[in-house]
Structure formats: structure tokens, C-alpha cells
Amino acid sequence: MREVHPEKKGAEPALPGSPAQTIEAEPSMGHPADRTGDSIPPGEHLGQPSGCCSAESVAPPRDLRLEWWEADRLTPHPENWRRHPSRQRQALAHLLREVGWAGALLYNERTGRLLDGHLRKELASGQKVPVLVGSWSQEQERKILALLDPLSALAEADQQGWQELLSTLGEPDAALAEALTAYARQHELPLTPDILTAAEAARPVANLPAARFEVIVECPDEPTQRQLYERLRAEGWRCRVLAF
């Protein structure tokens, strides 16, 4: 994969609500076969670990470039089927402000459409974002759009490892805690007490009506009901007549 540096060398765009960060780009390593002295097993390419699958089953790497683009230049895919609820937006915005960019959006230059990263594009409106630029046919584009996320979601969780990792995060932000709780419920995963407490605190407090104390008196017939109603009203009680 060939890396293309940002227009302004070393500048990473500031995320909403966070100061600009500066990074130093490392030299591009190029394709494994271009490294002098490296021993590359036959059929191994970037993105294909040795022994994972046969060389015949995986296509050679395409010309992928890592670039910095203005987020507003990226055209959303009209067939994007993923929808992003408010809790996901808030959690991702908080995470991006805290850790910066830890991944790139995916863009098909042949069709001029975004394939992955629609929410990140929205959150970074007016700023530059890291984009992995490639070239695919419309048929390949649809497969990427339809299968990239679902195939990633097929991974199975090591519940103990998940809980141990969560325990190292410290006290989470309320938005992140809510998102983690929703994910854990969906996948039947355990949560740490800190995350459960933070998620509970983030829930809005219900505005319940003031407490009322009432007495219901059963009457044998309507005349008795009317008589009792008039007597209680005369004594200053607020009453209403009910018929079941």
C-alpha cells in the first residue's frame, strides 16, 4: 500500500472540540517484495498473512493510497444501509476527540462514492479525514458495502478477555458507557461495575407526577353513590363519580 502524505505535511485535522494534533509520518515500507533481504513466502501479499489462505483464493493487492481529504468532498453512497442512532454518534464523537483518528474511511475513486465511514464523515464536517482510496467495479463496490461490516461482526467474543480489557479503561464517559451497554446486551457480554454505573447515571430521570392518595368506595346502587358523593363534597373532599 502506497502512502500519500497530507497536503500540509505532518498536520492532522482537529476533531470537533479538540485541539489540533501533530503527527510525524513514518517512511513508506512499500510492497513486501520490494524490501531488500526480506524473505517473503510464495503467494504472500499485503493483507494476506502467510498460511491464512492459498494464493489462488486471494486477489493481489490493488493500488491503495492513504490520503487526507476534506470530509465534505466525499460523496455518501446512496445504497448505504447503515443507520446511526444518537447514542452511537455521541459515543464515537467522544472517542475521536479523546484518541484521534485510529482508522481510515474507504473511498472508491472509480465511482466517486464513499464505501465505509459515513458517520465519521458527518462528525468531521469541515475538516480533513484520513481516506483509503481504491478502485473497484460497481459489482465489487456493492459486495464491500453489503458485506464488510457483517463479516466483521461474525467474530466471536472472548468474554473474559473483553471484561479484562474493559477493566483497564477506568471510569468511562456516559455516552461511551451507554454505547457499550447497548452492544453488550445485543451480544450477551458482561460489563464491569464502573460501566454499568456510568450508563445508569446517564439515563434521564423520569418526571413522575406528584404522589396521590385516593380511596375508592363501592356502593350497592346509584342512589347510595349519589348520597355519599354529596355528603363527602359537603365535608370538603374532592370527589368524582365513577361507574364500571
Structure confidence at residue 98 (pLDDT): 87
pLDDT at residue 204, rounded to an integer: 61
Number of structural domains in the chain: 2
Q: What is the mean pLDDT of residues 202-215?
A: 69
- Residues 90 and 193 both lie in one domain: no
Higher pLDDT, 69 or 29: 69
CA distance linking residue 124 with residue 7, whole number of Å: 17
Set of cell numbers at residue 66: 492513504
Angle at 144 between CA 73 and CA 6, to 5 degrees: 35
100, pLDDT greater than 80:
yes
How many Å apart are CA 119 and CA 13, to the nearest integer? 16
- Residue with the three cell numbers 477493566: 167
pLDDT at 136 over 90: yes
Same domain, 120 and 11: yes
Q: What does pTM read for this prediction? A: 0.56
Residues 180 and 144 in one domain: no
Identity of residue 162: W
108 plus 195 within the same structural domain: no
**236 in any annotated domain:** no
**Full residue range of the structural domain in which residue 119 is found:** 1-15+63-152
pLDDT tens for 146-169 read: 999 899 888 888 889 988 988 888
Dihedral sign, CA of 75, 80, 85, 88? negative
123 and 78 in a common domain:
yes
Is 124 a member of any domain? Answer: yes
User: What CATH number has the domain bearing residue 135?
Assistant: 3.90.1530
Last residue in a domain, options 91, 119, 152: 152
Query: Cα(9)–Cα(148) distance, rounded to whole angstroms?
Result: 31
